[in-house]
Structure 1
Amino acid sequence: MLKRTALLATAVIAAALALTAPAATAAVPAPPAGFTTVWSDDFNGTANTLPSSSNWIFDIGHNYPGGAANWGTGEIAYHTNSTQNVSLDGNGNLRITPRRDSAGNWTSARIETQRTNFAAPAGGVVRFESRIQLPNVTGAAAQGIWPAFWSLGEAFRGNYTNWPGVGEIDVLENVNGQNTVHGTLHCGVAPGGPCNEFSGLSGSRSNLSPSPQAGFHTYAVELDRSTSPEQLRWYVDGQQFFTVNANQMDATTWNNATHHGFFLILNVAIGGSWPGNPTAQTASGVPMIVDYVTVSQKNGGGTTPPPTGGGNRDAYSTIQAESFDSQSGTQVVDGNKLGYISNGDWAQFQGVKFGTTPARTFVAKVASGAASGVSGLIEVRLDSRTAAPVSTIAVGNTGGWTSYRDVPGALSGVTGTHDVYLTFTSGQPSDFVDLDSFTFRN
């Protein structure tokens, strides 16, 4: 999405401007076999409201603060957080709508996930997927329209100068209303380098039926670190159409581009180096419609470690973090830890037996390599994620993500048997802790 060369197409406008009826929706699907859903947004909500600010950041203007002008692509639209440009439709969809005003100025929208830690674990796989209908215009009416679903390496956020080395994986791009969709990896250096920048390593799929403008399709990419060589695979409606292998470049370039977290982006650009600028015939007010976005993960060895507690845990023995019964947002790291933990994540451990002597201390074995000023809380709640915490510990940088230490916290005299919820809270969206295990003491 950051740089490309120009393409063109031709056709008609009338059908697109009539696109006002509610769009078909589908629930967020179950993940593929062996995968676990780690994050999703189904875009349910009241019509003409913004998508959740807990899930999404709204990019504003023509560039990141201090970043390249026109988002580095030459696109011309001013991005807003106005519901005229980005809103729920009340029928389970998100609409990103580019508009031209009476003076000929364009506005549109670009949103990014709050989370930046969507990663393939060592020996595992991460999958980004969305069901999308592109703006329903073709030909002259589509000139300069550039919708996309894509991702950037987490180190780009706040830096904005380390592209393309930090990695960019474009799940879906389309220009000028063509019946062709593109998937791309950007990496290395620009211009040139192992990813042939500014074009990137790119594949495409054409002649979809219905066209990507006339109907919904499911677009996905998998970053697979369980194969040798490691691999990126692109899919439309479950059919693979493009692959990039790690051995197509040197190991350092591949690792820098892929061995880390990513954040996801949805946007409709207007103009730029690839599609060229819009004309007076370019249609205004025709949205890209997004049914859902989901991230799923397969851990090393090909399966998600099963819960080992089974509702029969001793509170005073070590409880391994990866033995959770359910969780949201975390990832199993190295097969025996919970990692990539950030604000809003949680894990449930069923049937923890405290007995009749009150437990007074909670101890968590944690590590953190979070940046200066990034910290958070681990809270213990009983039987409900919304119950009042019975213990809270603060976690900051411990000296690195492999530097584990036991951190104790006072506990309010717990007895009996309970489902234990560990909830994670931080004032920043960045990862702040990895959890190895925990226990309780009298």
Structure 2
Amino acid sequence: MTTPTSPSAGVYHSRSRVTRNRVALAAAGLALTAFGYLIGRLQDGPADPASAAAVPPASAPVATSAAADPSPSSVPPSAPVGGIDAYTIIQAEYATSQQGTESQDTEDEGGGRNVGWINNGDWLRFDEINFGATPATRFAARVASDVGDGVTGQVEIRLDSPSSPPVGSLTVGNLGGWQDWQTQSTIITPVTGMHTVYLTFSCQSGVEFLNLNYFAFGP
């Protein structure tokens, strides 16, 4: 009977490289899956329509994971260590501070509350929004409006000060009703790191033009 010989050191190293490559490919696949879902949410076309259609619970946190449906909450949680992930859903009513706005019960899917009565010069402030090292290049918001025909307003995204130059702007007009919700998105200047995010609102007509439920950033 022949005694089997142990594999050479080169064989072990080769197997180790194969194992590492398989782990790296698996991690990359998971990252691409999460990325695809997030982009689907931002474009109002979820990658998994069945899960996106599910009614979310009423007690989800302010920043939910990208793989979960956005849902309202009656009590805003404290910002986690490292801040709030910019790539998750952030509910508008949990602004750290605000000027000129009020919240109300929403008829959007999932229920909860939205911010309304938004007019020129109003703003919302969100502390410790963490963009990390991956640049955010897209902003999306869940909006509704019954402003007069031909009237538009802007949601401007500013960093660290309400008077900073905006990194992006989303224009919103009449969407058919104050509770007729749509997800709209816009391209922004790439953003990384930790910031206080201000959403400032402008409307040359000087009328209330917008309801806002939630928003998120995307790569």
Say yes or no: TM over 0.5. yes
Instruction: Render the CA deviation track for 1:282-305: whole Å, top value 9, x for unaligned.
Output: xxxxxxxxxxxxxxxxxxxxxxx6
User: Deviations 1:345-392 (Å, cap 9, x if unpaired)?
Assistant: 000000001110101100011000111122200000000000000010
CA offsets, 1:109-164, max 9 Å, x none? xxxxxxxxxxxxxxxxxxxxxxxxxxxxxxxxxxxxxxxxxxxxxxxxxxxxxxxx
Asked if residue 355 in structure 1 is aligned to residue 132 in structure 2, the reply is: yes
1:325 to 96, 99, 112: 96
Greater RCO (Cα-Cα under 8 Å, separation 6 or more) = 2
Cα distance change on mapping 1:309 and 1:369 into 2, 3 Å = farther
Q: Supply the AA of the counterpart residue of 2:98.
A: Q
- Give the number of the structure whose alpha-carbon radius of gyration is greater: 1
What residue is the counterpart of 1:310 in the other structure?
79
Per-residue deviation at 1:309?
5.1
> C-alpha distance in 1, partners of 2:104/2:97?
16
Report what 2:197 is aligned to.
420
Q: Distance in 1 between matches of 2:132 and 2:212?
A: 25
Output the TM-score relative to the length of structure 2. Answer: 0.60
Give the Cα separation in 1 of the matches to 2:140 and 2:78.
18
Contact 1:308/1:324 (8 A) holds in 2: no
Given residue 187 of structure 2, which amino acid in structure 1 is its aligned partner?
A: A
SS in 1 for 2:135: strand
Kindly provide the amino acid, as one letter, of the partner of residue 316 in structure 1. Y
Counterpart of 1:378?
Answer: 155
In the other structure, the counterpart of 1:441 is 218
SS at match of 1:322: helix
The one-character-per-residue Cα deviations of 1:191-231 (angstroms, maximum 9, x if unpaired) are xxxxxxxxxxxxxxxxxxxxxxxxxxxxxxxxxxxxxxxxx
What's the TM-score, normalizing by structure 1?
0.30
Distance (whole Å) between structure 2 residues aligned to residue 310 and residue 325 of structure 1: 10
Matches within 5 A, 1:125-164: none
Tell me, in whole angstroms, the C-alpha distance in 1 between the residues paired with 2:96 and 2:103: 13
Q: What corresponds to 2:65 in structure 1?
A: none
Report 1:22-421 matches (<5 A). 307-308=76-77, 310=79, 312-334=83-105, 336-421=113-198
Query: 2 CA distance for matches of 1:308 and 1:373?
Result: 39
State the alpha-carbon separation in 2 of the partners of residues 317 and 391 from structure 1.
18
Higher helix share: 2
Query: Is there any run of 5+ residues in structure 1 with no aligned partner, and where?
Result: 1-304
2: CA distance between counterparts of 1:338 and 1:432? 12
Distance 2:127 2:86 in 1: 11
- Structure 2, unmatched stretches of 5+, are 1-73, 106-111
User: Which aligned segments of 4 or more residues in structure 1 are displaced greater than 6 angstroms?
Assistant: none
Considering only aligned residues, what root-mean-square deviation do their CA atoms show, in Å?
1.4
